[in-house]
Structure 1
Amino acid sequence: MGSLIAVDDDGRVRTITLNRPDRLNALNTSVLDTLAEEVRRVAEESRGIRCLVIRGAGDRAFSAGADLEEIRGLDADQAHAFIRRGHRAITAIERSPVPVIAEVDGFALGGGFELMLACHVVIASDRSQFGLPEARIGCIPGFGGTQRLPRTVGKAAAFHLMLTGSRIDAERAWQIGLLSVPPVPTAELPREVAETAFLIASGSRTGLANLLEAARQSTSGPALEHEAALAALSIASVDGQEGITSFAERREPVFTEE
């Protein structure tokens, strides 16, 4: 499975750790493919597992989003292929018959924020920050955020987050409906997540799967495909590449006048 993803079992609960702390657990191709495979494996093979927890390694981030070093310089076709890998991983989480908890401590930004949105339960520390900064670098959310965020928090809050690219703190995330419970102190986060996971895992696996299926709101294929195409064009555009480069170089982007 490699070192980019760590997996640990505690009874009926499996914890998947995004293990790139030096890169703020950024999502590259290997991480996305391995994450999708692990979620699939739990659904199809690990019958004893009744709850999944996804967390980020280190003390700074759940995930700061897609790995910009990987998407820098991509043309539209290459960017589209990368985004579709993200869709596969995140859709696997959303459609998992085993409940998935996001344990967020630190940054949940961009693709990491979109990964969190696909989880069924979100529990975060009070120092966490959330946002979709793509608009600040000439791109758009590409891992389902344009579809899932308005469904989660409503049109007004969703468009404010997406259009401004602003970050919000954990208290604001709770107020607008991003979190399942109020934010907890960092030191208490593992206990809060463990208690919730074990409570969920005490239920019937079949019953939990049926509940998720009954409650699931479909994210339509055409809408996600349209988002993926537009996100790929944005990444490959002059402004998109300027935004990605300027971020890496820690300067303000200089966008075209078009």
Structure 2
Amino acid sequence: MGTLTMVADHGRVRVVSLAREPQLNAMCTELIDELKAAISAAERDDRIGCIVLRGTGHRAFCAGADLGEILGADHEQARLFINKGHALMDAVSNANLPVIAAVDGWALGGGMELALACHLIIGSTRARFGLPEAKIGCMPGFGGTQRIFDLTSKSFAMRMLLVGEPVHADEAYLHGLLAFEPIAPEDFHARVLEVATAIANGSKTGQERILRAARLAVHPAALEYEAALAAAAISSADGQEGISAFNEKRTPNFHRSSHD
């Protein structure tokens, strides 16, 4: 498909792999564009009935946004990056084919938001989920502040958003983030393909109607508001301090005022 994605068809199932394994499949602009194009191509292919998104390697589904790309970003640059991410998440969420996130390893920040945008999340026993943006003075900007409430309770969602600590697959399943109990790594990809094949062999028109009805729960105005706040957070003094501190492996020195 491209230099940062790999595509393989298994019958009526299209598996799209994020292929930045050395970077834990972190999302840069090029990868975001390639993933969006892959979703669009699958939708246009009448042979395909289900899409699976996965990460290459066993360490991460996706470790989030590529912080190197937003380090030093001003508000306009941050908003352009956020808009790119939102366009991808909307393409996934609004796809006319069911999209499964196959999470084996870390799904952090934008990586967890990518999983949340999918219609089903299936995790291995070594899957880990987290929205750590608050720890670096930022906030989820790819729809995470909205879509997480569709899957879990308010208290657990706010814990994920405010505390920022990752949770193991078992806890993610307990709180409704996973569609199935966590699967052993040696059985994981076969089981994902089994589920995807069962979906792909169903009625394509019937499933498209289900997807169209389900997406009415997402509020575009709320997503737009999130994007504006996330761009402001990235370009703020605290946001840039947090990103720098993360890259430098030190504790960030945040302002203690709400005024930036």
Q: Please tell me the TM-score bracket, short chain as reference.
A: over 0.9
* Paired position in structure 2 for 1:37: 37
Q: Does 1:2 align with 2:15?
A: no
Give per-residue Cα distances to partners, 1:113-168, cap 9 Å, x unaligned.
00000111111111111010000000000000000011210211100110001110
In percent, how many aligned pairs have the same letter?
A: 49
Q: Does 1:231 align with 2:222?
A: no
Aligned mates of 1:119, 1:221 — CA distance in 2:
16
Q: Does 1:158 align with 2:157?
A: yes
Q: Given residue 90 of structure 1, which amino acid in structure 2 is its aligned partner? A: M
Q: Does 1:13 align with 2:16?
A: no
Aligned mates of 2:142, 2:214 — CA distance in 1:
21
Q: Does 1:56 align with 2:62?
A: no
Aligned mates of 1:66, 1:133 — CA distance in 2:
11
TM-score, length of structure 2 as denominator length? 0.97
Gaps (5+ residues) in structure 2? none
Q: How far apart are residue 217 of structure 1 and its match? A: 3.5
Give per-residue Cα distances to partners, 1:17-47, cap 9 Å, x unaligned.
000000000001011111111111222x211
* Paired position in structure 2 for 1:148: 147
Map residues 71-86 of structure 1 onto 2, 5 A cutoff: 71-86=70-85
Q: How far apart are residue 213 of structure 1 and its match? A: 1.4
* Paired position in structure 2 for 1:202: 201
Gaps (5+ residues) in structure 1? none
With 206-215 and 229-238 compared, the bigger mean Cα shift is at 206-215
* Paired position in structure 2 for 1:99: 98
- Deviation beyond 6 Å, 4+ runs, structure 1: none
Map residues 242-257 of structure 1 onto 2, 5 A cutoff: 242-257=241-256
* Paired position in structure 1 for 2:132: 133
Aligned mates of 1:209, 1:171 — CA distance in 2:
30
SS in structure 2 opposite 1:77?
A: helix
Give the CA RMSD over aligned residues. Answer: 0.9
* Paired position in structure 2 for 1:124: 123
Q: How far apart are residue 108 of structure 1 and its match? A: 0.3
Q: Given residue 191 of structure 1, which amino acid in structure 2 is its aligned partner? A: A
Aligned mates of 2:46, 2:69 — CA distance in 1:
35
Q: Given residue 63 of structure 1, which amino acid in structure 2 is its aligned partner? A: C
Aligned mates of 2:218, 2:231 — CA distance in 1:
19
Q: Given residue 32 of structure 1, which amino acid in structure 2 is its aligned partner? A: I
Q: Given residue 125 of structure 1, which amino acid in structure 2 is its aligned partner? A: S
Aligned mates of 1:57, 1:229 — CA distance in 2:
31
SS in structure 2 opposite 1:217?
A: helix
Q: How far apart are residue 2 of structure 1 and its match? A: 2.2
The size of the alignment, in residue pairs, is 257
Map residues 154-193 of structure 1 onto 2, 5 A cutoff: 154-193=153-192
TM-score, length of structure 1 as denominator length? 0.98
Aligned mates of 1:180, 1:220 — CA distance in 2:
23
Give per-residue Cα distances to partners, 1:60-104, cap 9 Å, x unaligned.
000000000001110011100100100111111111110011110
Aligned mates of 1:78, 1:222 — CA distance in 2:
21
Aligned mates of 1:196, 1:59 — CA distance in 2:
20
